[in-house]
């Protein structure tokens, strides 16, 4: 097996592990299906934009969590936006934490919101590191055949 094929195999295995460990979902595959020869880095560009734009939302949520009393409607609205953008890239674990956070908002449970927000930030940072490594390896491997559905 030549080095290029070896890289493609590593990329495929890394991608599969992102699915197996629940970091990404079907939406990620749909993004990959939009990628072609004219825009070979489409998914990476979308993910980069997501991290740039969502960083501002995280700051807004942090600021809202610092206020007393907590404005649960505002927090829910901010998290709704964050969940939407996370869904758009298939960030499965992040999205699950967003859903939990919104449940705590409905219950007006400030402590639950704080705890879930910290967990969400952890999942967000972990996914960022994992995707950066994935995209770096994919760039080294060069273009490959069309994306396949996870098993």
In tens, the pLDDT along 27-76 reads 999 999 998 888 888 999 999 999 999 999 999 999 999 999 999 999 99
* Residue in the block written with tokens 């760039």: 139
What pLDDT does 72 receive?
98
Q: Please determine, for residue 148, whether its predicted confidence score (pLDDT) is greater than 80.
A: no
Domain 3-33+40-137 top-level CATH class = mainly alpha
* Residue 46 CB contacts under 8 Å (≥ 6 apart), including other chains: 31, 88, 89
What pLDDT does 58 receive?
97
136 vs 149: which has the higher pLDDT: 136
Report domain extents, the chain: 3-33+40-137
Q: What is the signed CA dihedral for 10, 126, 26, 56, rounded to 10 degrees? A: -130
Measured CA to CA, the distance from residue 147 to residue 28 in angstroms comes to 10
Q: How confident is the model at residue 1 (pLDDT cuts 50, 70, 90)?
A: low
What pLDDT does 38 receive?
86
Measured CA to CA, the distance from residue 40 to residue 142 in angstroms comes to 9
81-133 pLDDT, tens digit each: 999 999 999 999 999 999 999 999 999 999 999 999 999 999 999 999 999 99
Q: Please determine, for residue 146, whether its predicted confidence score (pLDDT) is greater than 50.
A: no
What pLDDT does 57 receive?
96
């Amino acid at each position: 097996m030549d080095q290029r094929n070896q890289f493609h195999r590593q990329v495929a295995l890394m991608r599969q592990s992102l699915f197996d460990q629940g970091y990404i979902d079907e939406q990620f595959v749909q993004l990959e299906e939009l990628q072609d020869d004219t825009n070979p880095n489409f998914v990476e560009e979308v993910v980069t934009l997501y991290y740039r734009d969502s960083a501002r939302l995280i700051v807004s949520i942090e600021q809202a969590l610092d206020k007393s009393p907590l404005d649960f409607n505002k927090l829910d609205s901010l998290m709704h936006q964050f969940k939407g953008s996370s869904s758009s890239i298939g960030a499965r674990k992040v999205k699950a934490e967003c859903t939990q956070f919104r449940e705590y908002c409905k219950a007006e449970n400030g402590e639950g919101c704080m705890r879930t927000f910290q967990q969400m930030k952890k999942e967000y940072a972990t996914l960022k590191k994992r995707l950066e490594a994935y995209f770096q390896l994919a760039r080294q491997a060069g273009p490959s055949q069309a994306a396949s559905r996870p098993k």
